[in-house]
Structure 1
Amino acid sequence: MTQDDEPTAGPPAADDSPPEVIGVRHGMFGVTGTGDTSGYGRLVAPVTLPGGTPPPYGGHFDDVIEALRNALSAKVSRAAAGFADAVEKVVVFRDELTVHVRREHLPAVARALRDDPALRFEMCLGVSGVHYPDDAGRELHAVYHLLSMTHGYRLRVEVSVPDSDPHLPSLTGVYPTTDWHERETYDFFGIVFDGHPSLTRITMPDDWRGHPQRKDYPLGGIPVEYKGARIPPPDQRRAYS
């Protein structure tokens, strides 16, 4: 597979699944009580996620999905998951390919993406988290950005977990580069990567309460807490002027 002279993936097909509405946003940034006089505070917009995309996907995307389907099907005899069990949906959105994977099958899918000669996604460029407070039962998403240096392709793998059980299998055994990225995602979003060799906070102090990049985390005025010390927010500090 090569990317030369291939058509790029086109716009979503007309029979794509409709966008999934998971909430409603009020105001520009969801902030209230600020005395806004711009008018943006009256905006009401749905919070949506792209729906699944049926094949054909366009360009090399069809080759990638077919290769993944074959790789997973070949492993079924060895008690591994097939494509239908492992993959929730495939999304082509803004010329990017995303495979949504069920969390219990994430390591098997990652190994197939890395090892199959037709795929060869040898590198994980990063792991990031997303928080959708209104997406009941799957409030937390982990997003893996993969690169095939062999074929020159990129792929996004996305996995969702509930806030009440925010556990995912660690991919450090498949992609060692995820070591620090999983720690950062744990620190800022609270996703627990089971099997990680040292899942500790990477930016915030060890005893920090909460996860600062969740959307329900306070925007300001948070007391800074360290071991044996507490620094109040700016509006509560002693003034010397």
Structure 2
Amino acid sequence: MGKITNEELLTKISDKFQDQFTVVGEPFGLLTLETSREQIIDILSFLKNDPILQFIFLTDITAIHYPEQEKQTGVIYHLHSLVNNVRIRLKVFLADGDVHIPTASNLWNGANWMERETYDFFGVIFDGHPDLRRILNVDDMTAFPMRKEFPLEDPNRVDKKDYFFGR
């Protein structure tokens, strides 16, 4: 167990950012908050630089895509306070036509590659990023493969016809 509880962590964040975030829950003990793109850098900076919290380790930046929701793309940040042995998850949801969010590479150098990967697979544009380009897919690729925009099976495949399987 960590030196600081989720309740104490939430109180500390609430004192600074009152109504600028919502608590999503605590799945498996991981405090999860949702905020806006305008507030994300302020909250990340506070969590990193606060002398008590010390969330100095950025574990991951990734995204999710929910095509049925109004704000389809979510950017997810996982932080770890090594001193307090506690983790936190922050989410920011963006509308489909406007997937811009400020970069966190000014706070953590490791965010550079994580943001490039998130851009490469989900198309999230990190404003202010020093070198936002594809990192794992080919440069001339026009799609973002982790978005749920394409059918799971190619309807033109001839080896998937029912008569091949006795149906």
Q: Select which of 21, 41, 53 maps to 1:107.
A: 41
Deviations 1:31-52 (A, max 9, x none): xxxxxxxxxxxxxxxxxxxxxx
Deviations 1:185-234 (A, max 9, x none): 1110111111110110111111101100111234355xxxxxxxxxxx98
Which amino acid in structure 2 is aligned with residue 113 of structure 1?
L
Q: TM-score, normalised by structure 1?
A: 0.61
Between the two structures, name the one with larger relative contact order (CA 8 Å, sep ≥ 6): 2
- 2:52 corresponds to which residue? 118
**Does 1:83 find its partner at 2:18?**
yes
**Does 1:172 find its partner at 2:105?**
yes
SS at 1:135 equivalent = coil
% identical aligned pairs:
31
**Does 1:203 find its partner at 2:148?**
no
Deviations 1:45-102 (A, max 9, x none): xxxxxxxxxxxxxx811111111223x2xxxxxxxxx331x21334222322101111
SS at 1:206 equivalent = coil
Q: Distance in 2 between matches of 1:217 and 1:197?
A: 31
Q: Which has the larger radius of gyration?
A: 1
Q: Select which of 32, 41, 50 maps to 1:98.
A: 32
Which amino acid in structure 1 is aligned with residue 5 of structure 2?
H
Q: Select which of 144, 148, 164 maps to 1:215.
A: 148
Which amino acid in structure 1 is aligned with residue 63 of structure 2?
G
SS at 1:163 equivalent = coil
Q: Distance in 2 between matches of 1:162 and 1:131?
A: 10
Answer whether contact 1:190 1:211 (CA < 8 A) is retained: yes
After TM superposition, the runs of 4+ consecutive aligned structure 1 residues lying more than 6 A away are none
Q: Distance in 2 between matches of 1:94 and 1:118?
A: 23
- 1:188 corresponds to which residue? 121
Runs of 5+ unmatched residues, structure 1? 5-58, 73-81, 222-232, 236-241
SS at 2:38 equivalent = helix
- 2:164 corresponds to which residue? none
Q: TM-score, normalised by structure 2?
A: 0.86
SS at 1:179 equivalent = helix
Q: Select which of 137, 147, 164 maps to 2:80.
A: 147
Aligned-residue CA RMSD (Å): 2.1
Q: Distance in 2 between matches of 1:133 and 1:117?
A: 40
Q: Select which of 68, 79, 89 maps to 2:13.
A: 68
Runs of 5+ unmatched residues, structure 2? 159-167
Which amino acid in structure 1 is aligned with residue 137 of structure 2?
M
Q: Distance in 2 between matches of 1:164 and 1:153?
A: 35
Deviations 1:84-124 (A, max 9, x none): 1x213342223221011111111100000001122110010
Q: Distance in 1 between matches of 2:130 and 2:153?
A: 33
Answer whether contact 1:211 1:217 (CA < 8 A) is retained: no
SS at 1:180 equivalent = helix
- 2:63 corresponds to which residue? 129
